[in-house]
Chains A and B, each alone.
Chain A
Amino acid sequence: MLSIRFGEDREWWTSSSNFDRLLSSAIEQGQVAPENQELRDVAAANGGLDVLDTMTPEAGDRLISGLRMAARHDLDLLDDGSTNLDDDGYRVSLGKFLEAIG
């Protein structure tokens, strides 16, 4: 699993596929800049990611904000009735993400 760290006490444990899915969704929605796509590879290579050490504080804040918006958007879509197991896992993981970033 990946340890995605947004600061000292903010950590999101997730699978590679759920992290990829949120990041790709955020980019697709225009919430996060496309050049951040590389973060999925950085996270995979490092067993996780230190967001605030990987980029400037401003860029880190923009990334977190973009991911938050995308997560809320995806949760709204999933709440509309998807029932497959992958979506269940993604929904739970998004909940943990939103809880982690506060």
Chain B
Amino acid sequence: VLDEIRTAAETARDELDNADRLVRQADEAAEQLECSSTDHGWAGLNRAMGLVREELDKVLAAIDAAHSATALGIGQLSEITAETSSNEVAVHLSQVRDRLDSARRELAALEDPIAAARDLAIQANAPVVDDPMDPTERGIAAADRSLEAAMSLAETELRAVASWGDPLGGGYVADVLGPGSAGDHANVRRDKALELRPAQLDTSTPFTEPAERATAVRLADDPRFAGRVFSAPPPPDPGYDWVDDLGRTYDAMGDGTKAKYLRLPSFTRSIDHHLNKGNDFTVIDLTGYSREQITAITNYVNTLPAEKQSTIVRVGF
């Protein structure tokens, strides 16, 4: 069954790779039209392509977040071996299921920006931008079906694990399946199991900024934040991107989809300003930046005083 889960998740990941390639193709076409329309003074087309690219940025960020979550789920499967205890298998499977669920939530948010980009491209008579949209949607739908299949298999296997019994006292399986389930007995290790659960985004709160949302999804994989729940504040903004259930505030910076615009002195000054702002954590996300860029930023961060570094959370370094 684990092989079947892996195969389904890998199929989803491959579909997301293809969708990402298609959207980047459309984005490049829109960028070219945006530039040429500037040269020709075609303000309407220029504006339309700017808006298309904004929508495509949202699509790329969501695909990236879904891809990351899927890859993490696949990695989590590798943690399960023949020697893994039933409690640990339950923990890993529930994390796989949660990762894949997180990926599906990202994909569910793609419908609107894809439709908006398509409409704008059609109105602007730009088939070179519109044409990749149909295969992108088909690919995302296929990825979603594969993720759904993988989740279903993980859920079934999780229930099977519960039926093995729980020599260590259990609790986690019961916690995952709910009251009255096969695993609902002796929650002796409940607290410990909860600590092992990846952090979650409270999706009832407005994680509306694509880059920050992608960073929060990635941060959820950091075991130091296991068990936490991240909530985004409603507007008007209070000066941070999200807060956890312990009341600690997080401010994110870095958007790898724009890495070609990096200017190191500006980035390092932004780090300084974020650190002086007084939030509990500054999350620096270098996912998508080049190896050389990451090295340069890492070198700068490593020179900061220890008390400053202790408030930095490194993602994608």
Residues of A within 8 A of B (CB): 1-3, 5, 11, 13-17, 20, 24, 28, 34-35, 37-38, 41-42, 44-50, 53-54, 85-86, 88-93
Contacts and interface: CB of A to CB of B under 8 A. Distances in A.
B38 A44 contact: no
* Residue from B38, B212, B235, B260 having most chain A Cβ neighbours under 10 A: B235
B164 interface: no
B251 to A, nearest CB: 6
Contacts of A5: 269, 273
B237 A45 contact: no
Contact of A46 (B47, B208, B267): B267
Contacts of A41: 258, 261
Main secondary structure of the interface of A (DSSP, over half): helix
Given A1-B237, A28-B47, A34-B38, A17 B270 contact: no
A54 B255 contact: no
A42 B271 contact: no
Contacts of B46: 34
Interface string B34-61: 1000100001001100100010000000
B291 interface: no
Contacts of B54: 20
B255 A1 contact: no
Contacts of A28: 47
A48 B270 contact: yes
A50 B269 contact: yes
Interface of B: 34, 38, 43, 46-47, 50, 54, 206, 208-209, 211-212, 234-237, 239-241, 251-255, 257-263, 265-267, 269-271, 273-274, 277, 284
B271 A47 contact: yes
Contact of A44 (B237, B241, B255): B255
24 contacts: A1-B239, A1-B253, A2-B253, A3-B274, A5-B273, A16-B212, A20-B54, A34-B43, A38-B261, A42-B266, A44-B211, A45-B254, A45-B259, A46-B262, A46-B263, A47-B253, A47-B254, A47-B284, A49-B266, A89-B235, A90-B235, A91-B236, A92-B237, A93-B237
Contacts of A15: 209, 237
Contact of B235 (A1, A24, A37, A86): A86
Contact of A17 (B208, B234, B273, B284): B208
A82 B266 CA distance: 35
Given A38-B261, A47-B253, 6 more contacts: A5-B273, A46-B263, A47-B271, A48-B269, A50-B266, A92-B236
Most buried by B among A11, A14, A45: A45
Closest 8 CB pairs of A and B: A89-B235, A47-B253, A47-B270, A92-B236, A45-B258, A45-B261, A48-B270, A44-B255
Contacts of A45: 254-255, 258-263, 267
B236 A93 contact: yes
B47 A44 contact: no
Contacts of B234: 85
